[in-house]
Every structure is written in structure tokens, then in C-alpha cells.
Amino acid sequence: MRKKIFLRLTGVLSLLALALLLSSCGVQQTATSDISPIEPVVPGLENGGAYAVQGRFSVRSGNVQILALSVTADGSLAVVGTSSRSLYLLGEGGGLIWEKNLTSDFSQAVIDPEGRYLAVGTAGGKLLVVKPDQPQSATEHYFDAPVGILDISLDGERILVGLTPEDQLADDALLLLDRQGNKLWQKNFPEILDAKIVGNDNRIFVNWQEGGESAISAYSADGENLWTLQQREHMAIDESGKILVSSQGNEVQRYSQTATALGSYTAIGIVNRVIMAETGAFFGVLATDEATRIQELLYFDADGNKLWSKRLPNESDVLLSADGQRIIVASWRQYRDDATQVVIYNKWGQQVNLLDVAGRAQKMALADRGDTLVLGLEEGSIYFLNIAEAKNRQLNETGQRGLLQYYTPVSFEIPTGESMFTLFFYDSRTERLIPVTRRIKRPQSVLRASIEELVRGPLQGSNLNRTIPKNVEIQAAQSNGIVQLNLPASLDEMSGSTFLSGILDSLLLTVSQFPTVRQIEFTVNGERRATFGQEGLNIGEAFTPMRFGHRPGERLVFLPSRSESRYYLRPESISGVTLQDEALIENLVRYILTQSSELYTLSLAAVRIKNETVHLDFTDSLNSLLSYNMEAAARAAMLRDALALTILENAPYANINITVEGTPPEQPEHFLPWQITVSRPYFLNLEE
């Protein structure tokens, strides 16, 4: 009996199902970010124009981590705390105002929104209150536990301090101080998760837990307990304190300031965080799908109506502007050079700006009034970025941005001195595996190099998701055509069928590209296992290599696919097609059009083979592709490549010519020719 293969490229269609599909087909139905960014710029303006960098500051010590970062409402002042125990006050654009050295490690640092003073907490239990213009006259207050939480009231007259004793048996403490550091009251909790002081009346909200059960309590400025909500894990509150959003598991609940329930929403996956605009007009929910381990951002208006949702790269950080009109998502990905990508969305979920920063972002803070985002990198650089919408500063779409912003046409050339690898990553929705071609300098072992590149993950800006967790070490060895892939025990302990299948599938498909491979075996921590992961996926027997997942006796076709703003060709193996010549090609073309109906509304009129060239004649519906913009050119190029490569794999023809009702279609500027000659080897979705 044939062993189950974990390939998720598509399901295999039976002859009857394919016939039913084809019978209904007769009726009409941004350039990739630079992999080595020098400094953040608005995409498309690298060769001149308005740079997004307003200023930059670098700490004096090397290999310094940014532990604390806070900015005033107007972006004119920023406070930075580092792992070298240095405190910096920076002016607008990153200019150094002063530097102060502390005697113990930082834990927290916040600046009053109006810039009247800054509060700094240390792991040694010290609280410093410093005026920006009088750094030498700081007042110091000492506690018997590290300062874990700091918050400042709207009027600047109250400071909320959370203490977290190192003794695990001791209670945490929450203190309300006046601006001079005098204690107004103190409350003890088994463990404080979060605390905020909000509103003109200085109400305090505390998220705490005891024995694994979480709760939220509200207190007046005088310390009176107003109410307590049990079983609440996370919280977000607007600036006035009138709206509270919290969660438990996958349930999100809205409450009034009196703890009256206003409505709820059930997310797919476990809620990790809730965030709210200071005005209370919008709030966001970050949830992780347990099966795919992919994080999603859901965005709501004040009434709890879901506006949109987006899948986010792993380890993304999210901020909201004060009015909720802008959502800032920063994600770090590693490929060749470390880089952080900052994407700015509007309230409707539309991308309005995209910035790339060389380095891994650790902290970010947004000025409530203005367009200044302050970004702290792990190597000590502090960037002041302008995140205003880029639409008025970008080049015209017919300029230098190019077709490659959306799609990379099929390539037939191998650069001298380089090796070409096909790697498989998930699309943005973690539904399908997408092949990409990566070029690297010729390595000593192409097998090991391909696994290393797969673990490195997709290129930043590709809108693809990694299949294997970052920095996982997978050992590969080959002997007599048998490849052994040794997986670490940490992967075997994980769960989620989609997540685990993605690991195995991407490895199988990546290794299958090498002609010397006859069998692929998996081991876990050096031992043969019958199953893999908490889901018990079968790895007890050897796997037969399959290029692109193509099984013997089946047809290999290429389907146009979209992953957010990027387009890719995706291979699929289908069964039940036994026709020849024109009939075979016509059925395959109609199948491609049917499977791509979300991208194209096209109708095929006829297929003719003449002088070793396949002529694909479409109805006037093809003219719907002829928009005069780069994205339309990319979609047309992708369709042409999909048809040509499918014909190459299933019939003895390498030339195709596309026509509309017997005549050549129009060819707007930037469109590739409608005729193409294909050959082997060919390379799909080449990374640029």
C-alpha cells in the first residue's frame, strides 16, 4: 500500500472531477526590498527623493542592546536606556542632549508625553525622576525590589510603579506616587502582568494573576477598589479609561469603565495581545493559530466591528497611532543580512508606506502627534523615521519601480560561479507551498547548502512565510543516493499539523531537486522514528523524491498565485488527463484558467499547433489584462509563463504564441512579449 505523503501543494483530481471542471470552462468567466538595506528609505526613492530618515543616533558602546525607549507626544524628545547602563536623552532628529550613567541595569524608562520629566527604573530597585534640562538634579527613590512597571498620568502629576521581587514567593507591589516621589498608596498582588494609569481622574487598571488564574482590577486615584473581572488575561485601555478590551483564550471582550460587558468576538487561535488607540476609536487583536503557528492581526472599530485581518510575520511588533488611523508593524527577518521591515497600514488595512532598516529592531515608540517613529536596533542605532504616507513621494508607477515589484518572470540562465536552488516556503496565508529560486556562490555541498538556505527563510519583502523555525539546525548526509535528514528533538516536541507538515514537505521538495537523490529518510536526534511531532506524522519509511511534487503518471501544471502584493507560479500535480496534442493542451489551459479565476476572467477560444508553435487564441476577454500599469504587466507575464511551462512539461513544444481572436494583442508599455520560447533548465520565482 502506498505510503501517505505530506505534500500540500494541492489535492489530486480524479478524471471525473477534472471532466466536470473542464465542462464548465467554455463560458467567460512594489520592487522587492533590497536584501542589504543601508538605511531606511521610502521604496522607489533609493536613487533620489525624500528619504524617510529624519535622524540617527548611535550609542557609544558596541554590541549594546536597547532596553528602554520612550518618546514625547510631539516627537521632540526621546529617552533611551541601554544594556551598558547608559541613559540618553535625544532631541528631535536624534541629536544628543545629554548622557547619564547608572549604577545598575535598566528595567524601565518613560518620558512624560509633554516632556516635563522622565522616570527611570532599575533592576536594583531605584527610581529616578529627571527633568530634561536638569540631568544633574535627578531625584532618587529606593525600593526593596526591581522596578518592573512604570507609567505616568496624563497630567504628569502621578507615577505608577510596579515592583517585582526576585523572591518567587513574595507578592508583587503596585505603588502610586506623586511627581516628587511620595507614596500615595500601595497594593500587593501575587503577580502583576500589566498596569496602567489613565483618564483625567487618574484611575488605575491592573492585570494580575494568582495560581494561573488572571484577573483585571480597577482602582480610583485614592486606592479604592472599583471592581474586579475574573479570568481576564490581557488588557488594553483608551486614554480616557472609558473603554477596556480584554481576552481569555480566544475570546475578546469589550467593557465600559464600570466593567459592563459591551460585546465579544471569538478569534481563530489564542489571543496573545490586545492593543488600543488612545482615542478608543479602534483596537487590535493579535492571535496565533495553534495549527499553523502563524500570527494574525485583527482590527476593529470602537463598536467591536471587525474591519480587516492580516497574517503577520513571526515575531512582529505592532503599534497604533493615537487616533488609530495608522498601524505600524515591524518584523525582523534574516537572509544574508539582518534587516527589519516596517509596514504602515491605514485604518482600512491598506499599505501606505514600507521602510527597510538594516539591523534587528528591539524597541519602537511612536509620537502621538506627528509622523515620527523612533526605532531602536540591537546594535545600538536609534533611527528617527518619517512614516507619513508615501503616495505623494513615490515615483510614478511607470518609472523605475518595475515589473519585478510584483512578479519575477521565468529565467533560463545559470550565472557563472553560482548555484541555483529551489526552496519551498508558505504563502502569506500558510495554505500552499511556493517554490522560489535562490542563487548562492557555489558551495562545497549543494545538499547541505540547500537545507541551510531553507532554514534561513524567505527573502524579506517576499510576502512568504518560513516553514522551519529560525536558527534550527538540520543535519543532512548522503550515501549511495540515500539522503538522511536529522531533525532536532525540539521540533519533534512541537504540535500543529500544518506547522509540522510544512517542515517535512519543504524539506522533501527541496531535497528532491537533486538528480542523485534516490531516497529520503528522516531521523530525530539521530534515531529512526515511526512518527514525527505531537501530531504523529509518519516518517518511518523512506520517501521517493518528487521534483515539484510531481508524481509519475500525473500531469505537472503551473498555476498563477498571489501572496499579498506579490505573484508567484505554483506547481501542481493532477491525474486523469490522457488526451494528446491540441485536446490535451486545451484541457490543461482551461484547467489553469479555472484554478486562477480569482486572478483572471478569461475565456479560451481555440488551440492550434503550427510549425512547432502552440497558438493559444483567446476571446476579447484577454483585453481586460491590458491596463497600463506595472501590476497588470506582471499578471500578464505570470499567465504567459504558466501556460508555456505547462505545455513544455506535457507536450513536445517549446514555443507558444498568444492571440486575441486571431490577432496579436496590444502590448502596453512594460508588458513582456506575448510570444515565448522556453527550455530546460528553467527557474521559477527567482529572487532578485
Q: What are phi and psi of 641, to 5 degrees?
A: -65, -40
As a whole number of angstroms, the distance between CA 352 and CA 391 comes to 7
What is the spatial distance between Cα 192 and Cα 209, in angstroms, rounded to a whole number? 7
Any long-range contacts for 89-94 (C-beta under 8 Å, 24+ apart)? 89/118, 89/132, 89/135, 90/57, 90/382, 92/54, 92/55, 92/372, 92/384, 93/54, 93/55, 93/384, 94/54, 94/55, 94/56, 94/57, 94/382, 94/383, 94/384
Q: Residue 648: which region, alpha, beta or left (left: phi > 0; alpha: psi -120 to 50)?
A: alpha
Average pLDDT, the chain: 85
285-291: long-range pairs with CB below 8 Å, 24+: 285/245, 285/247, 285/252, 286/312, 286/318, 287/250, 289/430, 290/495, 290/496, 291/496, 291/497, 291/498, 291/499
Q: Before 681, cis peptide (omega within 30)?
A: yes
Question: Can you give the pLDDT at residue 105?
Answer: 86
Element (H, E) at 649: helix 630-650
pLDDT given for residue 346 in this prediction:
87
> pLDDT of 264-291, one tens digit each?
999 988 999 999 999 999 999 999 988 7
**Pair 330, 290: CB distance under 8 Å:** no
> How many C-beta neighbours within 10 Å does residue 50 have?
13
**pLDDT (0 to 100) of residue 333:** 63
Residue 6 is predicted with a pLDDT of 44
Within 328-441, residue ranges assigned H as helices are none
Tell me the residue type at 28: Q
- Asked whether the whole model's pTM tops 0.85, one would answer no
Report the alpha-carbon distance of residue 528 to residue 480 in Å, rounded.
Answer: 19
Amino acid at 38: I
pLDDT computed for residue 18 by the predictor: 38
Classify residue 662 by burial, with Cβ atoms within 10 Å: 0-12, 13-18, 19+. Answer: exposed
Residue 26 DSSP label: T
The whole-number pLDDT of residue 552 equals: 84
Cα–Cα distance between 476 and 522 in angstroms, integer? 10
Measured between alpha carbons, how far is 589 from 583 in angstroms, rounded to an integer?
Answer: 10
Percentage helix, strand, coil for the chain under 3-state DSSP, each rounded to 5: 15, 45, 45
Tallying the residues shown for the chain, one arrives at 688
Show the low-confidence residues of the chain (pLDDT under 70).
1-51, 60-63, 333-338, 389-401
**Distance (Å, rounded) from C-alpha 463 to C-alpha 458?**
8
Write down the pLDDT at residue 62.
Answer: 60
Sequence ranges of the domains in the chain: 413-549, 555-677
Q: How far is Cα 384 from Cα 594, in angstroms, rounded to an integer?
A: 48
Place of cell 508593524: 329
Beta-ladder partners of 683: 411
Percent of the chain predicted with pLDDT > 90: 58
Report the alpha-carbon distance of residue 10 to residue 434 in Å, rounded. 11
Which letter does DSSP use for residue 530 in this model?
Answer: S
Q: What is the pLDDT of residue 17?
A: 38
Strand partners, 562: 567
